[in-house]
Amino acid sequence: MLTLTCPYCGIRAEETELAPGGEAHLKRIGPAGSDEDFEAYMFARANPKGVHFERWRHAYGCGKWFLAARDTATLQVYATYKAQTPAPTDEVIAAITAARPDWTPAK
Ligand SMILES: [Zn+2]
C-alpha cells in the first residue's frame, strides 16, 4: 500500500486517506498559447514507469494539497513537499538520485 507523509501535518497517511490529483508541476497555458499547447496541457500526461511527480490531497486529514515524488513501479516514496513548490527542489532531486543514480530530471 502506498503511504505518504503529509508535509503540512506530518502524518503518515495511507492511500485510502488521500485523494490523487494527477501529475504535478504542469505549466498552465494562457490565452496567448497555441491550440496545440493548450491541447497538450489539457489532455497529455506523463505516465512513466519509474520516477513521477504527483499531486495528492490529505482528504481525510488536514485537507491540504501536497506534492509527492515517487516510483510508480515500486511505490517507493522519495519525498513529499508543499504544493506551492513550483518545481522539485534540490533536496527532492537529491533524494531521488540517491535512490536511483541512473535517473536524470526531465529537461
Ligand atoms: Zn495533512
Question: 39 in a domain, yes or no?
Answer: yes
Which positions of the chain have pLDDT values less than 70?
A: 107
pLDDT given for residue 50 in this prediction: 94
- Can you tell me the distance from the alpha carbon of 86 to that of 23, in angstroms, rounded to the nearest whole number? 13
Total domain count, the chain: 1
pLDDT given for residue 79 in this prediction: 97
Look up the pTM and report it. Answer: 0.90
Question: 106 in a domain, yes or no?
Answer: no
Question: 35 in a domain, yes or no?
Answer: yes
Q: How far is the CA of 30 from the centre of ligand 1 (A)?
A: 31
Question: 32 in a domain, yes or no?
Answer: yes
pLDDT given for residue 98 in this prediction: 96
Q: How far is the CA of 14 from the centre of ligand 1 (A)?
A: 11
Q: How far is the CA of 72 from the centre of ligand 1 (A)?
A: 22
- Can you tell me the distance from the alpha carbon of 70 to that of 4, in angstroms, rounded to the nearest whole number? 9
Range of the domain at 32: 3-99
Report the CATH number that the domain containing residue 47 is assigned in CATH. 3.30.2270.10
pLDDT given for residue 106 in this prediction: 77
Q: How far is the CA of 69 from the centre of ligand 1 (A)?
A: 16
Question: 94 in a domain, yes or no?
Answer: yes
DSSP string, 10-61: --EEEGGG-EEEEESSPPPP-TTS-HHHHHHHHH-----SSEEEEEEE-TTT
pLDDT given for residue 107 in this prediction: 62
Which residue is associated with the grid cell 507523509? 5
Q: How far is the CA of 79 from the centre of ligand 1 (A)?
A: 14
